[in-house]
Amino acid sequence: MKAAIELVDVSRLYVVGDTVVRALDRVSLSIEEHSFTAIMGPSGSGKSTLMSLIGCLDVPTEGRILIDGEDTSGMDEEELAYIRNRKIGFVFQHFSLLPKLNALDNAALPLLYAGVGQRERRERAADMLERVGLKDRMRHRPSELSGGQKQRVAIARALVNDPSILLADEPTGALDSVTGHEVMELFHRLNEEGHTIVFVTHDRSLAEECGRIVPIRDGRIDDAT
Ligand SMILES: Nc1ncnc2c1ncn2[C@@H]1O[C@H](COP(=O)(O)OP(=O)(O)O)[C@@H](O)[C@H]1O
Ligand SMILES: [Mg+2]
């Protein structure tokens, strides 16, 4: 199987005053194309740091990260932005929607950045919102949506550029358990449609629904199979 994501001896150090925090410590990890992986570990173990690195929102202090076989080390900001926009969709715990825009315009935002014209933006965002079950909420602003619906808008936005990889950092963390399970069902469907999915959770029952659980502790991955 081809690796969608590969980390080779990746470390991320943060320097705060005269302390050095080794948020990730020589992590090696290979994630197969079309797989569904849960990253699980206690608070402060390095999960968000790992996700930011995989998502090319941050760069490692040491080591290499390959996306779709392409080595991202040494890429400049423009090249990293290209990978981010084309290959990776990112979903956060607190949705990060723009409050003044309705669901349609929020979902269309990455297309605006990609220079797509308004008509096509609206069509593609509408298709994506329909895929996540929000056909009848396109004109609602975030404040007029439930938590689960907001997360669906965020998922539509993450996928509107049709990236192969979907990363989600505690996507169910701000949702009640029923809504959390609904979001998981959506991830399962997107995975069946071919997306590679990596998500972070504290919830063992959600993690156990996935093909693979990667445990992380103190910046290290115990099981890097
Ligand atoms: N920007 C930063 N500056 C300094 N230390 C950070 C920064 N981000 C994270 N850390 C530290 O790195 C470690 C891992 O953090 P994080 O990846 O956010 O963990 P998790 O998402 O598992 O809770 C923690 O000890 C945290 O305090
Ligand atoms: Mg975190």
d(CA 179, CA 172): 8
Confidence of residue 1 (pLDDT cuts 50, 70, 90): confident
Structure tokens at 134: 């929000």
Q: Which bound ligand lies closest to the C-alpha atom of 170?
A: 2
pLDDT in tens, 185-207: 999 999 999 999 999 998 888 89
pLDDT in tens, 101-112: 999 999 999 999
Q: Whose CA is nearest to atom 8 of ligand 1?
A: 49
Ligand 1 binding pocket mutation candidate from 11, 14, 169, 220 (most atoms within 8 A of CB): 14
Residue of 25, 21, 13, 28 whose CA lies nearest to 65 = 28
Residue 224 has pLDDT above 80, yes or no: no
- Structure pTM? 0.93
Q: Whose CA is nearest to atom 14 of ligand 1?
A: 46
Where does ligand 1 bind, in terms of residues with CB under 6 Å?
14, 16, 21, 23, 41, 43-49
Angle at which helices 103-113 and 147-159 cross, to 10°:
20
Q: Which CATH architecture has domain 3-221?
A: 3-Layer(aba) Sandwich (3.40)
pLDDT in tens, 167-181: 999 999 888 988 999
d(CA 3, CA 87): 14
Ligand 1 binding pocket mutation candidate from 12, 45, 49 (most atoms within 8 A of CB): 49
pLDDT in tens, 56-72: 999 999 999 999 999 99
